[in-house]
Amino acid sequence: MSDALAALARLRARRGAFAVPGNRERAHFWLPHDFWAERFAQAGFRLLHNATADLGPLVLAGLDDQRHGQPAPAILDGLRDCPKPVLTLWHSPDGPAGAAGHFLGHLVLAGHTHGGQFRFPLIGPVYTSSAYGRQFDRGWFERGDSTRLYVTAGCGETGTPRLRRRLLCPPEILVLHPENG
């Protein structure tokens, strides 16, 4: 963990650095939320756990992990008429996929699936660790209410040591460029 935190600490962000709890942080129940909040803070990150942050030109929201936590998408319902764009971070695409009826922001960013990690031509991902199977493996999606979702393939790997690699699924670091600077 110390190597990962040191790498995170080297990142710079104009409006602050933020993280959301994922399955690894939430599955380790013996480590309380405060443990993770303190570790991320040491690296210069604010952990958004069912919380929002007004960053000036936009509002950032972060929701708890869908599988092991207790996400509260209702915290976003009051932002439906917000004059600023609302960007939501949610570790897994299962969260937004299962939150019908809630305003989730204008753009939701998720990961968790690793893009399938092992992909084959014409078949796609072998496995995504999602309740929705391969439906939200990676890329752009849009809900009926026009909320956009981007699921990044990320740069992590999972599995036993022999399986901790990628096949036809390159690592991805997402860089978004706002239209208005």
Query: Tens digit of pLDDT for each residue in 119-143?
Result: 999 999 998 989 999 999 999 999 8
Closest CA to 17 of 111, 89, 73, 95: 89
| Residues 89-98 pLDDT 10s | 999 999 999 9
- Whole-prediction pTM value? 0.91
101 C-beta neighbours (distance < 10 Å), count: 8
**Dist CA 174 CA 83 (whole Å):** 25
Name the DSSP letter for residue 75: G
